[in-house]
A and B are shown apart, each in its own frame.
Chain A
Amino acid sequence: MPEAEATFTIKAPLDRVWSFLVDPRRLGSCFPDVQEVRVLDEKTAEWVLKVKLGFIRKTIKMKSTVTDFVPQKRVTFQGVAEEAELSGTMNLESGPGEVKIHYKILMEGRGPLAPLMNDLIRRRISKQSQEFIEILQKKLEV
């Protein structure tokens, strides 16, 4: 399945970074395709994404679940929608005045449009990963 993996730093205190990353609404604001995030409970949320593929406009509703976490160190999550599923991990490492984040996300298309979704994911995942990092840095670095 297509994947994105990156390591980057955020010049911000660990507390601020962690509380941002574990808040689905705030995390969702780092992805331009995400329209809305509804928190269902402390581990699950529903994400509404609008993606465009030429003339095809899809609204994707994905339910995310935090499957494991070590406070201020690691969070592991998965997401399931009718059209795609994902899993990922984010590891945090605190340094002087900054936090190093390493994440890996795997995504895969599902359903009758799975091959198209996989193609879409393959084409966009690197760019969207880069966008996510830039937006996150902007939001957290003062």
Chain B
Amino acid sequence: MSEGHADIIVIGAGHNGLIVAGYLLKAGFSVLVVEKNPWIGGATSCREVNGFKLDWASTNHIDIQPNPLLVDDELQLKAKYGLKYIIPEVQMAGPYPDGTSMIIYRDVEKTVKQVAKLSKKDAQAYRRFAQWGIQCLETILPGMYNPPPTLGAIVSELEQSPDGQELLRAMMMSFGDIVDEWFEDDRVKALLLHYASELLLPPWENGTGSVLFIMIPIMHVYGMGCPVGGSGALAEALGRCVEAYGGKILTNSPVEKVIVENGEARGVILENGRRLRAEKAVVACLHPKPLFLNMVGEEHLEPGFVRRVKRVKQSAFSGINTTYMLNEAPRFKVEEVNEGANWEISWSLEDMMELFQDVVFRRVPPEKPCPNVVCWSKLDPSRAPPGKHSLYAISYAPYNLRDGGPSQWKEIKEEVADSVLESIREHTTNMGSGNILGRLITTPVDVEEVISSNNLLHGDLTGVRATLEQTFMFRPLISLGNYRTPVGKLYLTGECTHPGAGVAGGGRATAQVILQDFGIKFDDVLRKS
């Protein structure tokens, strides 16, 4: 590969772009990755401030845990490139103002015992829910990290069994209705709704009902976790892998245009005018709107396709993330939950539902913010200077503020962050100003403008909305569901494609399609050392 020339150019060094690069390099292609930012990782990146490693976008890595990329260490990220995950026994805890708590452990029975303190009936239900969910996961997993089958193929297989039909039903429902059907105690419901709403969708959104049958069993079977060193450690390991295979990553290299000649992608033009040639393909780890409407250009696309790109929907809300540098880890008033490092502050079911109403109708700050609070430094000392701690607190918030629009965020971000902090203070004993050494606020606008302007539009950390009409073969839209695009030799990867939202490692599926198009068997690549 010469300086401006490679078999494959990957636009965007988010974790999926790097994963695609890794597999293609392993297959023998030369790969050049171009990244707009001075750092790699996109939403899987950290900010280092005075020795504190702060996750400013993603922190909990859930959907990637069952990915064969990690389970079988297909790119040797763990064996050779330093990736190590912390998977805690206490997966998630929700303290309540009445002094009770809901805790989800890795172990199902331990969780059942905990739920029984709130409701004996819900404890039995939780056991059935988790067990059925584990079977769902077995059904769904093969489709998650491989190119998605057609919806018709999925439906025709699932409708042949009663359990399959139940799963189909769940896929069409809202996760709120699922939780209502299975559980009765408001505290149990609140935690589960809070967790599922990390899809950045409210509980009444149809087409989301299967999400808990993925997220909950993953916690029990694989465990949700975070890499040692922070969310960015995943991208760093991938970066080392790419470079070890001879790939090159160019940072500070924003792309202005995709070069299209005779209907095929032939390279890219950077914003500084430099042209980079791709002999075989271009892979874009980007949101389809900036990719097709700006970088490719409507002149190369059919009007019907352009209309479908323009109608891609974003999630219902985003979030404001405040990361804190602390003298000590937070101590919750509900002592039981101090065993963990990951908390959902839900107040009550009613408060959660009001929060959803507020953020969907673009009102901030909400009466009672319900942040997800994570303190990985309790389990990973590398996250902070000795004896200190870092804290991540994300609370749902709209991108487009009702009063003043997105530009108003710079005016109100401190006030909103303060209200989230107040919510945390109500539940803890030690989050006064004496414990706080500093904080970093990341608003939805910051996510879009600073972290990933061509990927996380409107600060949407899930890429694009993850309802049924934008999942599987329809993610992000019909005709892009299998990573190929209407432009020859141009592929799309990233959160905006299957399997979608969050840190899932879907680049593995994209790589399979690209390899197939070049007549290379994926299993032959896996067998290479």
Contacts and interface: CB of A to CB of B under 8 A. Distances in A.
A123 B145 CA distance: 13
Contacts of A57: 160-161
B19 to A, nearest CB: 17
B164 A56 contact: yes
A86 to B, nearest CB: 13
A56 B161 contact: yes
A120 B140 CA distance: 11
Interface string A103-116: 00000000011011
Interface in B482-529: 509, 512, 521-523, 527
A115 B138 contact: no
A118 B146 contact: yes
Interface stretch (B30-38, B147-155, B241-249): B147-155
Nearest to A57: B161
Contacts of B157: 56, 58, 113
A97 interface: no
Contact of B142 (A2, A3, A58, A119): A119
A54 interface: yes
A30 to B, nearest CB: 24
Nearest to B132: A55
A1 interface: yes
B163 interface: yes
Q: Could you say which of B142, B157, B160 has the most chain A C-beta atoms within 10 Å of its C-beta?
A: B142
Contact of A112 (B141, B145, B152, B164): B152
Nearest to A120: B142
A74 interface: no
Contacts of B509: 115
B164 A116 contact: no
A118 B508 CA distance: 14
Given A115-B147, A115-B149, A55 B523 contact: no
Contact of B149 (A54, A58, A113, A120): A113
Nearest to A118: B146
Interface string B215-258: 00000000000000000000000000000000000000000000
Contacts of B68: 119, 122
Nearest to A2: B523
B interface secondary structure, majority: helix
Nearest to B168: A55
B139 A54 contact: yes
A119 to B, nearest CB: 4
Nearest to B134: A54
Given A113-B149, A115-B149, A122-B523, A55 B142 contact: no
A116 B523 contact: no
B162 to A, nearest CB: 9
B153 A54 contact: no
A1 B137 CA distance: 24
B511 to A, nearest CB: 12
Nearest to A112: B153
A119 B522 CA distance: 11
B268 to A, nearest CB: 29
A70 interface: no
Contacts of A118: 146, 522-523
B149 A56 contact: no
Nearest to B163: A55
A53 interface: yes
A115 B137 CA distance: 16
Contacts of A2: 523
B329 interface: no
B146 A1 contact: no
Contacts of B385: none
A116 B149 contact: yes
A122 B527 CA distance: 12
24 contacts: A53-B139, A54-B136, A54-B140, A55-B139, A55-B161, A55-B163, A56-B161, A57-B160, A58-B157, A112-B149, A112-B150, A112-B152, A113-B157, A115-B146, A115-B149, A115-B509, A116-B143, A116-B146, A118-B146, A119-B68, A119-B143, A119-B145, A119-B146, A120-B142
Given A55-B136, A116-B143, 16 more contacts: A2-B523, A53-B139, A54-B135, A54-B138, A55-B135, A55-B158, A56-B161, A57-B160, A112-B150, A112-B152, A118-B146, A118-B522, A119-B142, A119-B143, A122-B68, A122-B523
Interface of B: 68, 135-143, 145-150, 152-153, 157-158, 160-161, 163-164, 167, 509, 512, 521-523, 527
Interface of A: 1-3, 53-58, 112-113, 115-116, 118-120, 122-123
The list of the 7 closest CB pairs from A to B, nearest first, reads A54-B139, A54-B138, A119-B142, A115-B146, A112-B153, A55-B164, A55-B163
